[in-house]
Amino acid sequence: MVWNLDARIPVLSLPDAAGLRQALRAGPSAALLLPEGAPDIGGAVATARFQPFASHAVACACCGGRSPLAQALDRLFLERVRGTCPWFERVLALTETPDAAALLEGVLREDSVVTARFREDRGG
């Protein structure tokens, strides 16, 4: 028998707000990852927002040049483990453009801190 346990938090990329709302209603508890300027969506236990571009240089002292998307995922993770928000079992990410979806996919694959905490949810 083969066992495979991946305890990282699944992140589901959704291309529109309607799909995000539907996934949110389908349960289990979820946090939202929304681009700046997207309207608020109720029903999530936590929300983090990100800008779809790098705001600082690669060797920046405050963020080390990590993308705003990676930093938003960090905030969600820290809220979860510190208990400053209710526990969530997954993250639903609004990626309305192909560029936003590619950015999320890249962060989930290439950012070592994000990769240690989160995984792409391919099952929907």
Q: What is the pLDDT of residues 16-36, one digit of tens each?
A: 999 999 999 998 999 999 999
Question: What's the DSSP call for residue 15?
Answer: S
Question: What does the pLDDT look like over 64-118, one tens digit per residue?
Answer: 568 899 999 999 999 999 999 999 999 999 999 998 999 999 999 999 999 999 9
* Residue 48 confidence (pLDDT): 94
3-state secondary structure of 50: strand
- Mean confidence (pLDDT) of the chain: 88
Q: Check residue 123 and give its pLDDT.
A: 65
Q: Is the pTM of this model over 0.85?
A: yes
User: What share of the chain has pLDDT > 90, as a percent?
Assistant: 69
pLDDT digits (tens, 9 = 90+) for 48-64: 998 866 555 555 555 55
Distance CA 79, CA 6 (A): 21
The reported pLDDT for the residue numbered 55 is 58
pLDDT given at position 17: 94
**DSSP secondary structure letter of residue 48:** E
Domains, in order of start, for the chain: 9-120 (3.40.50)
For the beta carbon of residue 55, count every other beta carbon within 10 angstroms: 13
